[in-house]
Structure 1
Amino acid sequence: MKLVVFFAVFFLVTFCHSSHAEAFTQPTNASLVFGQIFGDIHDTECREYHKIKDSSLWCTFIKTTPNCQMDEGFVNYLKGAFCSFVPRLLPLISVLYALWLIFLFIGLGTTAEGFFCPSLEYIAHNLKLSQNIAGLTIVAFGNGSPDIFSAIAAFTNSNPTAAGVAVGALLGAATFVTTVVAGLVATTQTFTLAQRPFMRDMTFFIAAAFWAFYLIYTNEINIYSSVGFLGLYVFYVTIVIVGRYIHQRQREKLKKLLGDVAKIPEDSSDGINGSPSTSMDENTPLLVGASRNNNMKEDGGEWIDSKLRSGHHDEKHLHANEISVDSCCIEDDDHQSTLLIFLHGINPIPRDDWNEAKHIFKILLLCQAPWNFVCKITIPIILLNQHNNGWNRPLNSLSLLISPIFCVFATKGGSINIVGNFPLWSFMLVIGVVMSTICWLFTDNRTKPRFHWIFAYIGFIVAVVWTYTIANEIVNLLQTFGAILNVSNVIMGLTFLAWGNSIGDVVADVALARQGFPRMSLSACFGGPLFNLLIGICLPCTITIIKTGKPVQVAFTHLEAVLCAGLLTSLCLTFIVLPIRKFRMTPAYGCVLVVVYILFLTVAILAGLNVI
């Protein structure tokens, strides 16, 4: 029940954010003028401005074409590029937009990994979820949050062509991770997969991919299909839990028959190069295997510690939180002033990280610093494995003061009035002042308060708002680049958005495989995209359908056919080839997977450019 309430809160926060978009009123006369040029102006894509020879009319076209409107984010990048500057400066504006896009991707990863995931981690601990349930729900949701929030931002966008960004990103990222990332993992060493979880989870993945193909082929996703994806995910979780329960019962019976002295292997499959592997239980689902910590008990396959966040996620993003909070929680913190504790906590660049980082990573730290700073002053964070759970009285008091008012303006609720003419932002400011005052007066610097657990839920809500806000800006920027480069939104989602959200998987999974955990890395390559595909279609489509009262319309062209065919081809190839090879992953097959993706990407781009 607590888990249901938790996801209900997330649903409401996201739905409220998407419901405050401002309506766009078209200038009728200009629409009629361009309607004579392009036909039905409502069916005209924004990138068709290239057909207008007179560049002085581009701004008018952008302002009057419905598909060029951006009302979900804070910046209309198309109007900024075409109406605020002369056309000859468009290349320079594109470069500046590209740098801003990179900065937003860094912010999306930093916010999700450094602030969203720790909140989920503590919530799972607070709800006392079992390891399997936590891995299949909380941890998987945290790991896939950039992809899911990007899909929500695209599907809930008022621009009908924005859904193509989500379709391209979900299918493109799934294909990229299951071919390129899995292939790179396979090139690290030869190893044998756990057979039963691989066959079970690949079956669910292929079924989900076929279902997604059918929905795109029919051009719409209704409420039954959307909720059906959630039902398929719940069914998958049930199968995993029941299967693990049966497996454990069988092991207990076998122990009684053979005696406790006998060693009963967890996995009948061979490990790396034929040696027994303890990195993953044979009955462990891919989603749990993708989120396990490297340190495991050899006999039980359970975590040694209670950390629910993936052990290899530290490779993805630098955690400024952990070191900066540790700095203020040293043994002699009784002698530290409140100001010094605050400065240690708000420090966006940990000294140790800066000293140890090479030049290129110092640039990354500098790019992360603004995001760390604004997130720290708005998100009250709890770090499960830190001293006092990372308690920082002055910083937490400040974040409680700012977070309510931030959420109001980030969700475009600043103009909403409640109870007559009393603005909502004033009400939230009062709430922030009350929470901050209570935190300051009834706590001290040395020990965390009893109500510290509440901070995880508040931090979760604020992190959702932050992540969704950044994802909206990324989607709007990708639409802008699609118009400037004269390529479809599907191609932009397939390439830039999919690669941007997956770059962390490349670094983390390959590094984990090189450390001796290739089986765990490969499970992440299939478990993560499976969760993102199911929830990435279910959640945003359900929100959109409830918001508009109509099914989600999805265009089906030869490009979408190529995307679906590419994902299904890669999955079916692996599903057929690996059992024939006795579930052995080799560097040679890894190279085959990379070649498959190159061929897929080539065909998809050619299809998107109408060459084929």
Structure 2
Amino acid sequence: MVNKITLTLFLIISNNIFTGYADTTTCTGIHIQNSSTSTCTYITTTTSCNPKGYINYLQIYYCNFSSFPQAGFILLLIWLVILFYILSNTASDYFCPAVEHLSNSLNLSPAIAGTTLLPLGNGCTDVFSTVIAFTTTADGGDIGLNSVLGGSIFVTTVVVGVMSLLITYQKKVVVVDKPNFIRDVVFLLVTLTNVLVIVIIGEIGLWLAIVFVLTYVVYILLVCYIHFIHQKKQKQKQKLVFGSVNDGIGDDHVIRVPLLCSVEEENVVHPVEKVVHCEEQVVDRRSVVTIVNLLLYVVKLPVYLPRRVTIPVVTKERWSKPFLVISMVLGPLMVGVVWNTKEGSLGLKGSLVTYFVVGAIGIGLGTCTYAFTSSTMPPQRCLVFWYASGFLMSVTWTYVTCNELVSLLESLGNIIGMNPAIIGLTVLAWGNSIGDLAANVALAMYGGPDGPQIAMSGCYAGPLFNVLIGLGFSFVFVSWSKYPAAYVIPEDPNLCETIGFLMVGLLWALVILTKREMRLDHTLGGGLLVIYLCFLFIKLARAIGLLG
């Protein structure tokens, strides 16, 4: 979700930054037109100005709002916020629950699920943004590379730094698990080294891209191995401890200590309840709350309803048979529309056979759902099918939203005359990572004794997933399209600089934590924040022309 910093950055850039470069391949010639009419004609007649998503934002800004450009820019910013909200809300309300329930239905262990399904839920927006950027943008995936690397440096420096400073401020002593931390950091360093080599070489083939993706499988196997070894040691310790304690004592005589100590009721002092007669005030407050909730519901309805009628939900809290039946009918149809829709339009231009097939599948699934499900409780059988359906449709919505998001960001880059790579490093990276900041910091502060360890693991396992899976699958797709030739990496010397800053942050954390007995403190947090501020200053200074 976009915060105030992101919106402020957009406004500052739009008012003060104008690089003025013209390129016929990236639609930057809009800044050299003499009038609004010529600009509108240029946009509608130039192929490179065609949108990568479903909406032509340049046409809206330069043609429909040519007389009121400020209003048009504000409208695009509002739509940017809505797109980020759809991304985060789809992940939290639909994708992550589907992943969690699917993991439980498949009986996956926490270690395996934590390195496969859960990172997929947390990093799905980054992965899809990267794949879409690589496969649709005219600059050859420059936004995709910079957004993944920018998001990774944000999480490993800002999130870890803020978390360390807050823990130090509360005078809490948090010791990070050393083997898991070193494993994640070393794997991430090796992965970034591979990316650096690929960028320096300037191209990547299909088989090398496949090997790059398979590196994540090696990581998962190592996590599972460490997990099973840890479980084995824990069982051995339990046998030794309980064996010595229970010698000669039956199971019935073992003293079991409850997790929470009970409190005697007679020792509890209950405060005297003060009865205040203010029925009229209560009624007024309830009416105000009702009106506010109704207004919020009406505002959110256009964003909520399309997803609700296409994504199957079978949880008790949100169970509704009519919605489930409708989603089973419309879900396959939406997949068919997305599959057959061409760039720049949302018309039914695909094969009629495809629509006939998906329509028949939807009607069949809807009929079966109506006949074999209860109106009062969600289904109890074939849960893997229901959760997999919700997983697929949430992935589809994420794909569509990311496609539109990348198109909007590229259009904004053209409007403000800024390099799309900087847009990826700031807005797209912040937007995809602000959720990690809120979730990991909250988990570290209020997640109990295991919260900081889980949050620290997520700060390094998440970027590792985004780089290996996001960039990896992007490399596979684009190299596959070029096969047998290799895919040429965009020439951007700043990529090496970004990777260098990211590796410096990882090495700083590795050195400081090992020297300070794996304790999170202000030295670790302050150093990481300084590294990110230096990185951001150099990028923005180069964007506005202060640096060459």
TM range (shorter): 0.7 to 0.9
Q: Which amino acid aligns with 2:442?
A: A
How much has 1:475 moved relative to structure 2? 0.2
- Counterpart selection for 1:442 from 372, 377, 382: 372
| One-letter identity of the residue aligned with 1:518 | P
Alignment correspondent of 2:120: 141
Structure 2 match to 1:75: 55
TM-score using structure 2 length: 0.79
1:214-251 residue CA offsets vs partner (Å, 9 max, x unmatched): 22222233222321222211111111111222233334
Q: Report the counterpart of residue 456 of structure 2 in structure 1.
A: 522
Deviation at 1:153, TM superposition (A): 1.3
Whole-Å separation in 2 of the counterparts to 1:611 and 1:366 = 47
Counterpart in the other structure of 1:477: 408
More moved, 523-532 vs 120-129: 120-129
Task: Give the corresponding residue for 1:105.
Answer: 84
Q: Which residue of 1 aligns with 2:359?
A: 429
- SS of the residue corresponding to residue 198 of structure 1 reads helix
Offset at residue 554 of structure 1 (A)? 2.6
Deviation at 1:395, TM superposition (A): 1.6
How far apart are the structure 1 equivalents of 2:493 and 2:499? 10
Q: 1:363 deviation in Å?
A: 9.1
**SS of residue in 2 equivalent to 1:450:** coil
1:167 & 1:374 partners in 2: Cα distance?
31
Counting aligned pairs with the same residue, the percent is: 29
Q: Deviations over 1:555-609 (max 9, x none)?
A: 2323223211221111111122221222211134312222221111011122334
1:370 aligns with 2:297: no
CA contact (8 A) 2:512 2:524 kept: no
Once residues 157 and 326 of structure 2 are traced to their aligned partners in structure 1, the CA distance between those partners, rounded to angstroms, is 45
Q: CA deviation at 1:173?
A: 0.6
Cα deviation code 1:453-498 (max 9, x no counterpart): 4222222222111110000110001001111111111111111111
Superposition map of 1:445-524 within 5 A: 445-447=375-377, 448=379, 450-515=381-446, 516=448, 517-524=451-458
Is the Cα–Cα contact under 8 Å of residues 509 and 524 in structure 2 kept in the other structure? no
SS of 1:411's equivalent in the other structure is helix
CA distance 1:234–1:478, shift in 2 (3 Å): same
Output the CA distance in 1 between the equivalents of 2:381 and 2:97: 19
Q: CA deviation at 1:399?
A: 0.9
Please name the residue that 2:506 is paired with. Answer: 571
Q: Which runs of 5+ in 2 are unaligned?
A: 1-20, 169-173, 247-257, 260-285, 342-347
Q: 1:67 to 1:535 in 2, by over 3 A?
A: same
Q: Partner of 1:415: helix, strand, or coil?
A: coil
Alpha-carbon offset, residue 105 of structure 1: 0.4
Shift of residue 407, structure 1, vs aligned partner: 1.7
Q: Structure 1 unaligned segments of length 5 or more: list them.
A: 1-37, 264-296, 299-351
Deviations 1:432-466 (A, max 9, x none): 12211121123321342534542222222221111
The residue number in structure 2 matching 1:222 is 205
1:197 aligns with 2:180: yes
2:105 is aligned to 126
Partner SS, residue 470 of structure 1:
helix
CA RMSD of aligned residues (A): 2.9
SS in 2 for 1:144: helix
1:382 is aligned to 314
Summarize deviations over 1:500-538 as a string: whole Å, max 9, x none: 111111211222222143232222222211111111111
Partner of 1:538: 472
Q: Which residue of 2 aligns with 1:393?
A: 321
Counterpart contact for 1:119–1:382, Cα < 8 Å: no
Q: 1:174 aligns with which of 152, 160, 165?
A: 152
Task: State the distance in 1 between where 2:192 and 2:334 align.
Answer: 38
Shift of 1:79: 2.9
Determine which structure has greater relative contact order: mean sequence separation of CA pairs < 8 Å that are 6+ residues apart, divided by chain length: 2
* Inter-CA distance 609–559: structure 2 relative to 1 (3 Å threshold): farther
Match of 1:585 among 480, 502, 520: 520
What code does the residue aligned with 1:82 have? Y
Deviates more, 1:212-221 or 1:469-478: 212-221
CA contact (8 A) 2:184 2:457 kept: no
Shift of 1:370: 3.2
Q: Does 1:187 align with 2:158?
A: no
